[in-house]
């Protein structure tokens, strides 16, 4: 893995979170520990982040969950011709990553369809073409951010519509607080990202700790420690863009928007935007996929 390439990128600093007292806030309520167990009352929480002793099993699990994520994206109408891609870092050879084959519909994706490539674009596993622009973006992200294991990007309708404004999301509702001070806007649209320089710019715009990016005049991009986290963030950001567009339209008609304050937004982010919780939020989509099509996605 080329470490020197990661140091050539200069990332903008995303504003740090407003400080929240971990014992008690000025509003008088205690700040819960982070983790999805906070939302479970009564019985045991149904989902837990998996821990693998066998890296081959982890690789198998990753490919299966990638396929489920694609099928979820397909159900939600995120496909646009051959555009759109999800990548996940390989757990055995971390300088390589898995990505979808070019031209296969999201709804038809299976674990066996995934292609593994290295940072130079060499095919390691699989025998199909991949999206060149997708490779340029995802390879630079994985090189630049070693904490990023998964990244999602599509040309979803509300994401690309909202991207035309070139501005970050407002904290208009509880769900939008998941992106509080952890998303940014890439304003330097240079056409289809067929060159590595464009991928490097996008990776830099994501920042050293960003979790989501609005690509101006293009679409959305989200990242995570698991593909489940990145995929849930994408579905949430797409709907958050839709809500923002609807709120902006209503505001243009004379309604006043009420924006959530920094303290409340920081608290909400703290309690519900950790990797475990975001992993958990995506599991109902996998359950639905299994209900609709069984284990087809795992093949």
Q: 37: burial class by Cβ within 10 Å (0-12, 13-18, 19+)? A: middle
The helices-and-strands tally (H runs, E runs) of the chain is: 7, 8
Q: Which two tokens stand for residue 63?
A: 């490919």
Percent of the chain surpassing pLDDT 70:
83
- Decide which of 223 and 18 is more confident: 223
What CATH number does residue 124 fall under? 3.40.225.10
Of 226, 224, 227, 1, the closest CA to residue 95 belongs to 1
Of 181, 182, 189, 141, the closest CA to residue 165 belongs to 189
Does an H or E element contain 219, and which?
Answer: strand 219-224
pLDDT in tens, 145-202: 999 999 999 999 999 999 999 999 999 999 999 999 999 999 988 776 666 688 889 9
Instruction: Please state, in angstroms and rounded to a whole number, the distance separating the CA atoms of residues 55 and 264.
Output: 40
Instruction: Please state, in angstroms and rounded to a whole number, the distance separating the CA atoms of residues 299 and 163.
Output: 36
pLDDT given for residue 36 in this prediction: 58
pLDDT bracket for residue 28 (50, 70, 90): very low
Confidence check: pLDDT of 1 > 80: no
pLDDT given for residue 48 in this prediction: 80
Confidence check: pLDDT of 235 > 70: yes
| One-character DSSP codes across 29-92 | -PPPPSSGGGG--SS--S------S-HHHHHHHHHHHHHHHHHHHHHTT--BTTB-EEEEE-SS
22 in a domain, yes or no?
no
pLDDT bracket for residue 6 (50, 70, 90): very low
12 in a domain, yes or no?
no
Question: Of the given ranges (43-57, 78-92, 229-243, 249-263), which has the lowest mean pLDDT?
Answer: 43-57
pLDDT given for residue 35 in this prediction: 62
75 in a domain, yes or no?
yes
262 in a domain, yes or no?
yes
The secondary structure of residue 182, as a DSSP letter, is: T
Phi, psi dihedral angles at 125 (to 5 degrees):
-140, 140
Question: What is the tally of structural domains in the chain?
Answer: 1
Domain housing 155: 52-227+235-293
212 in a domain, yes or no?
yes
- Decide which of 31 and 50 is more confident: 50
> Per-residue pLDDT averaged across 242-248, rounded?
98
pLDDT bracket for residue 34 (50, 70, 90): low
79 in a domain, yes or no?
yes
Residue with tokens 């099993």: 57
pLDDT given for residue 46 in this prediction: 73
Confidence check: pLDDT of 65 > 80: yes
Task: Give the Å distances, CA to CA, from 175 to 22, 131, 239, 272, 278.
Answer: 21, 31, 9, 9, 12
CB environment 100-133: b (16+ within 10 A), e (fewer): bbeeeebeebbbebbbbbebeeeeeebeeebbeb
Does an H or E element contain 213, and which?
Answer: strand 212-215
CB atoms within 10 A of CB 86: 28
Question: Of the given ranges (13-17, 133-137, 166-170, 184-188), which has the lowest mean pLDDT?
Answer: 13-17
Task: Give the Å distances, CA to CA, from 42 to 257, 277, 283.
Answer: 37, 18, 19
Q: Is the pTM of this model over 0.95?
A: no
């Amino acid at each position: 893995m080329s470490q020197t390439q990661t140091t050539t990128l200069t990332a903008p600093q995303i504003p740090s979170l407003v400080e929240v007292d971990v014992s008690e806030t000025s509003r008088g309520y205690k700040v819960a520990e982070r983790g999805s167990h906070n939302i479970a009352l009564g019985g045991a929480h149904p989902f837990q982040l998996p821990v693998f002793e066998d890296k081959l099993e982890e690789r198998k699990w990753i490919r299966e969950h990638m396929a489920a994520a694609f099928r979820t994206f397909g159900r939600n109408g995120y496909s646009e011709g051959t555009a759109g891609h999800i990548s996940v870092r390989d757990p055995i050879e971390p300088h390589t990553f898995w990505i979808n084959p070019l031209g296969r519909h999201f709804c038809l994706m299976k674990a066996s369809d995934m292609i593994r490539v290295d940072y130079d674009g060499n095919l390691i596993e699989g025998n199909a073409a991949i999206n060149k622009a997708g490779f340029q973006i995802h390879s630079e992200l994985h090189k630049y951010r070693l904490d990023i294991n998964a990244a999602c990007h599509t040309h979803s309708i509300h994401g690309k519509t909202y991207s035309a404004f070139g501005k970050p999301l407002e904290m208009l509702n509880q769900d939008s607080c998941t992106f509080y001070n952890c998303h940014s806007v890439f304003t330097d649209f240079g056409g289809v990202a067929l060159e590595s320089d464009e991928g490097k710019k996008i990776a830099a715009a994501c920042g050293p700790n960003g979790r989501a990016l609005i690509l101006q005049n293009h679409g959305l991009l989200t990242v995570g420690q698991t593909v489940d986290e990145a995929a849930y963030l994408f579905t949430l950001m797409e709907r958050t863009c839709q809500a923002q567009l609807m709120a902006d339209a209503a505001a243009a008609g004379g309604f006043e928007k009420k924006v959530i304050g920094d303290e409340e937004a920081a608290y909400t982010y703290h309690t519900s935007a950790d990797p475990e919780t975001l992993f958990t939020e995506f599991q109902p989509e996998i359950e639905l996929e299994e209900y609709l099509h069984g284990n087809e996605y795992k093949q």
